């Protein structure tokens, strides 16, 4: 029962992390214009993401423009796009595999050894999804940081970390934590084999063994 609860906790943590990964991929606030300096015009805020760039005015109006060309984008944006898409796909597959492998579900094989291996496979997929997200977000943040501290970058052209980066770090942490729980929730192989052997024995064998034991004890008393 405890092992099943541990699997459920890891699954829901990883599921929440996967939802955060999708949100991080779609959000345009991967970096935002910096207001450091005295000559910065704060009436317009600029945001850039993996798919579009947006301009937010002080009146609340937001205008976004999708990037025109994929080949003209920087290498870190293209790599972050690929890693985030791979992360979303791995997380989706991990959700399906984990449902099949968890003890609280009746999907697939009832052999506890097989279900534990399937659950571990789902945990590995979640770990890979979290690592891909962590690499993409950290790489993008490193690029933003280097450009911000570059003395050749104009003050009014510097950007800071956007809210999507923090969402991505949190989502990657949840996904990795949930995948780790799924990977560590399987019992020892010996116990798995013993429990499955006991549960797979037919009732007739158990009854005959009980009768034989009772007869032997009766002869001893006589």
The residue-averaged pLDDT of 78-105 equals 92
pLDDT one-digit tens code per residue, 9-27: 999 999 999 999 999 999 9
pLDDT one-digit tens code per residue, 36-82: 655 455 667 889 999 999 988 877 788 889 998 888 888 999 999 99
- pLDDT given at position 88: 97
Q: Which residue has the higher pLDDT, 187 or 171?
A: 171
DSSP category for residue 102: S
Of 38-42, 92-96, 119-123, the range with the lowest mean pLDDT is: 38-42
Report domain extents, the chain.
2-30+74-197
- pLDDT given at position 193: 45
- pLDDT given at position 46: 87
CATH of domain 2-30+74-197: 1.20.140.150
The residue-averaged pLDDT of 128-134 equals 97
Closest CA to 172 of 84, 102, 89, 50: 84
- Residue 109 scores a pLDDT above 80: no
Question: Taking a C-beta distance cutoff of 8 angstroms, is the pair 8, 169 a contact?
Answer: no
pLDDT band with cut points at 50, 70 and 90 for residue 95: very high
Q: Which residues contact 131 (CB under 8 A, 6 or more apart)?
A: 172, 176
Alpha helices in the chain (DSSP H): 2-26, 75-101, 112-148, 163-184, 189-200, 203-221
Global pTM? 0.78
The residue-averaged pLDDT of 116-145 equals 94
| 151, burial (CB in 10 Å: exposed 0-12, middle 13-18, buried 19+) | exposed
Q: Which residue has the higher pLDDT, 141 or 154?
A: 141
């Amino acid at each position: 029962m405890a092992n099943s609860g541990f699997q459920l906790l890891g699954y829901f943590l990883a599921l929440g992390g996967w939802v955060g990964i999708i949100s991080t991929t779609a959000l345009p606030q991967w970096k935002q214009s910096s207001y450091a300096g005295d000559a910065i015009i704060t009436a317009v805020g600029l945001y850039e993401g993996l798919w579009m760039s947006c301009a937010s005015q002080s009146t609340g109006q937001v205008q976004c423009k999708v990037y025109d060309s994929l080949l003209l984008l920087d290498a870190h944006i293209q790599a972050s796009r690929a890693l985030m898409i791979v992360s979303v796909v791995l997380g989706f597959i991990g959700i399906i595999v984990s449902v099949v492998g968890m003890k609280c579900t009746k999907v697939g094989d009832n052999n506890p050894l097989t279900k534990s291996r399937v659950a571990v496979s789902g945990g590995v997929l979640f770990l890979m999804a979290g690592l891909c997200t962590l690499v993409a977000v950290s790489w993008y943040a490193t690029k933003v940081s280097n450009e911000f501290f570059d003395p050749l970058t104009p003050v009014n052209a510097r950007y800071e970390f956007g809210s999507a980066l923090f969402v991505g770090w949190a989502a990657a942490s949840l996904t990795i934590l949930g995948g780790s729980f799924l990977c560590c929730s399987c019992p020892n192989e010996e116990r798995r084999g013993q429990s499955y052997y006991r549960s797979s024995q037919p009732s007739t064998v158990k009854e005959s063994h009980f009768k034989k034991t009772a007869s032997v004890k009766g002869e001893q008393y006589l």
